[in-house]
Amino acid sequence: MKFKYQYLVLVAIMWLATSCKKDTYDAPKITLKGRLVYNGESINLEYNQVPLELYQPGFGKTGAITATFAQDGTYSMLLFSGDYKLIIPNGQGPFRWSENATTNRRDTMNVSINGDQTLDLNVTPYYLISNPQMAVSNRVVTATFGINKVITDANARNIERVTLYVNKTQFVSGGSDYSIVATDLAGSAISNLNSVSMSATVPAIAPTQNYAFARIGLKVQGIEDMIFSPVQKIQL
């Protein structure tokens, strides 16, 4: 009986040692970061809405390592060394990425990680908002801007609407809890893409603040995610 008890104790100690070893693996420390770009220009999105996925074949983990883009189009992930496959899933983002002509699915990008790395991701947006300007008079915010239609081939899509968003904080979109006001302009109402103007009246803000943040979002027909102009701070 004594021998059996000692054996059980030994097994328990070995199990605890193994468990502790599994729980004390080093956390990933290598940074992969970058931004979405078109011709070197950053692509602005809604915060935390467009996902980025990495897969590490043969590592034993079959699921994706997932991150999302910030509203200025940047991303950052902590990883282990190794070879990965990177993709932005189909149907995500107001842009096109390289796609397989046979499967009509987005191609994956091979990424080798052995130290901190900056990797910008080139995409082709359907539209870009150019030269956005914000002016304020008596709490009326007027946005003037142009719209560049980038994709003009068989994959082109029409504009559903553009929206002027004004928020309390720098996280500016329609889904924000800190939205103050938003105004829409239908794509069919835009007669000149080179010169677009729209306005919104900012109501009283509680608690009081004499500033806000604004930007323009563009919704493409049939695409869930919007493309945005950079956030601008405005004085009220």
Q: What is the pLDDT of residue 78?
A: 94
Say if CB 34 and CB 86 are below 8 A apart.
Answer: no
Q: Write out pLDDT tens, residues 46-86.
A: 999 999 999 988 765 568 899 999 999 999 999 999 999 99
Residue-level pLDDT at 102: 67
pTM of the model: 0.85
What is the predicted pLDDT for the residue at 67?
94
C-alpha–C-alpha distance, residues 12 and 29, integer Å: 32
User: In the prediction, which pLDDT does 9 show?
Assistant: 41
- Position 107 scores a pLDDT of 84
pLDDT of res. 3: 43
The pLDDT value given to residue 12: 46
| Maximal C-alpha separation, the chain | 92
Phi, psi of 192 (to 5 degrees): -140, 110
Structure tokens given for 224: 């869930």
Q: Which domains does the chain have, with CATH numbers?
A: 30-124 (2.60.40.1120), 126-235 (2.60.40.2060)
Query: Which DSSP string do the residues of 138-195 spell out, in sequence order?
Result: TTEEEEEEEEEE---STT---EEEEEEEEESSS--STT-TTEEEEEEEEGGG-S-TT-
Q: What pLDDT does residue 181 have?
A: 96
Please tell me the number of Cα atoms within 13 Å of 121 on its side-chain side: 30
Given a cut of 50, the residues of the chain with pLDDT beneath it are: 2-13, 21
Distance separating alpha carbons of residues 56 and 54, to the nearest angstrom: 7
Reduced 3-state DSSP string for 89-135 = CCCCCCEECCECCCCCCECCEEEEECCCEECCEECEECEEEEEEEEE
